[in-house]
Chains A and B, each alone.
Chain A
């Protein structure tokens, strides 16, 4: 789905929490208020480093009651695609950036009797947005955060405001010293599990939980979505007589629209069937819910709002 008009945000404050961790605080560049930050939500920042354009997703750590500022915490990673490094080194207070409206693919379960939160490293960020909401609901919860020695005091400080009544623990002794199986085994029925962190941690937590018989619907993993993104490719629009480049984070439909071609569309989410477009050449990477398995296999139609090319080139009858 497309996110509508982006927000323009001004960097209000940058706080160094640790040598590799910075908190960026943004305010609306043109005044007014932000949309209510969704619990577990994230934003996509568009970062322009000269001619290079990067789109990076960051969890919002702002409570839902806060409408005048959006905060993110960014970790400088060695193998960064460039976005985190750019934010750490080049962005200064007063800069104006483009930010997609927040969305959430990581919500708190309404029917949970208890919430068990497990974070690893910078994966603490969506958990920080859950805590004020859990407090507001008066919900029962338990949080375990894995940290390096350098991060541990920082995380303890960030979690301190919520530590009063419930169990919040920061583990800096490494993964091996953390009794994951014991933690998951002793939870009461009706507990929901939320995990965010490196893939290896998320796989270990979800795998251990599944092995202990946790129902699938009670295990939640942080996700930034990114349904429409993939490798860039070229789309040839035969009737219009033009070719468009479809970028990594752009949908085929968006690229066609950007080229000024009025393509049919309605739901923009792969459900309604309106944007079905005949494929003349090339193979489609189908991601819609509209075409049947047989129709997808025949390769004659593509839903431009969510699907992409499997390969460098796609020729469309458009």
Chain B
């Protein structure tokens, strides 16, 4: 289907972000079962999956142009949202190659890449960009290669260097994050940057996940879904900007909760890179309001059950306590108690009221 971009929609102040019916149905709903607990829920990142969000290596949707413009605004206000340590230059070029080739292959109507030896020409039609450059020569691009290409992709990205049997977050483009800071985390090891997560350390989740990722192979990317909830369709919920978005939680009322509360899902992807041996971590953020989720019978039943039975430590870590009761009061009458099918597929192609 041809994407109808909505370049003028906003993710702050006026919040004009809206989802078309197709965009709601392609949402990567994060709960395969009626209850939720941390696990190493990693699977191969192959093209195809339970919703259309899994069809491409790097998913593009109707919010593409607006999200790129929002990223540009965030970077203008706070350039440190994009940082890459100097030893990661090979990984920067690896990232540029992977994203350009994947986007050109998955969306030939929007992106194209032509090569004549090291001279590459990249065309991004939605953003009106045509750029010729020499692969490997930083000075031929308007900014360093990692920043250049991630300014033109949806979702955040980090670069992990692998050394001493550990992973270090040595670079990133982070403007659509769920309350974590690249400026704070840069250079940290795997367990350090996951330090704040409750329960999962004790369950050994991070020990296993690290061992698995150290063995991640080139050409065999993997993915997982993560989730939280955000008030208003705000992409930039960063610690740096907490004074801007923190008070949003106090604006929720029983009357506006379904429109204000959004399920925030991260489609996380991990790629081993060829030249550098580093890992590219994609954190693609999707926002869907509780009101929109309620239009899918399976999803509204399941969201109700997951939130109702959620472990209090997880609810607290994700910042839900203040508005969770209101979300539950809205969803409870919509849950008829019927059984739900395993997996995340919406089980419908039309939306209910």
Contact = CB atoms under 8 A, between A and B. Distances in A.
B39 A272 contact: yes
Contact of A271 (B40, B118, B162, B274): B40
Nearest to A109: B163
Contacts of B97: 36
Interface in A3-40: 3-4, 35-40
A102 B218 contact: yes
A41 B164 CA distance: 20
B212 interface: yes
Nearest to A110: B87
Given A110-B88, A111-B161, A36 B275 contact: yes
Interface stretch (A77-85, A163-171, A231-239, A262-270): A262-270
B228 interface: no
A135 B215 CA distance: 27
Contact of A39 (B40, B43, B274): B274
A290 interface: yes
B277 A108 contact: yes
A65 B118 contact: yes
A267 B42 contact: yes
A133 B212 contact: no
Interface in A198-238: 216-217, 227
B251 interface: no
A103 interface: yes
Nearest to A217: B164
Contacts of B162: 107
Interface stretch (B5-13, B203-211, B318-326): B203-211
Contacts of B94: 36
Contacts, number: 110
Contacts of B215: 1, 227, 269
Interface string A63-75: 0110000000000
B163 A110 contact: yes
Nearest to A268: B44
A4 to B, nearest CB: 6
Contacts of B211: 271, 289
B87 A271 contact: no
Nearest to A269: B212
Contact of A110 (B41, B44, B136, B161): B161
A136 B137 CA distance: 10
- Residue of B217, B220, B278 with highest tally of chain A CB at under 10 A: B217
A273 B40 contact: yes
Contact of B276 (A2, A103, A107): A107
Contacts of A137: 89-90
A1 B274 contact: no
B219 interface: yes
Interface string A252-276: 0000000000000011111111000
B216 to A, nearest CB: 8
A271 B212 contact: yes
A180 B215 CA distance: 31
Contacts of B91: 110
B165 interface: yes
Contacts of A268: 44
Interface string A86-111: 00000000000000011110011111
Contact of A136 (B136, B163, B218): B136
Interface string B249-281: 000000000000000000000001011111000
B274 A38 contact: yes
A40 B276 CA distance: 10
A104 B87 contact: no
B219 A103 contact: yes
Contacts of B118: 65
A192 to B, nearest CB: 9
Interface string B26-42: 00000000000001111
A266 B163 contact: no
A272 B42 contact: yes
B43 A110 contact: no
A103 B221 CA distance: 12
A37 to B, nearest CB: 7
B222 interface: yes
Contacts of B136: 136
A101 B274 CA distance: 12
A6 B182 CA distance: 38
B40 A133 contact: no
Nearest to B89: A137
Contact of B275 (A1, A35, A39, A227): A39
A101 B43 CA distance: 18
B163 A103 contact: no
Contacts of A136: 90, 136, 275
Interface of B: 39-44, 46, 87-91, 94, 97, 118, 135-136, 161-165, 170, 207-209, 211-212, 215, 217-220, 222, 272, 274-278
Interface of A: 1-4, 35-41, 64-65, 101-104, 107-111, 133, 136-137, 216-217, 227, 266-273, 289-290
6 contacts: A1-B220, A4-B220, A41-B218, A103-B219, A109-B163, A271-B211
Given A38-B272, A110-B163, A290-B208, 12 more contacts: A36-B94, A36-B97, A37-B274, A40-B277, A104-B218, A108-B276, A133-B275, A136-B90, A137-B89, A266-B41, A271-B42, A289-B211
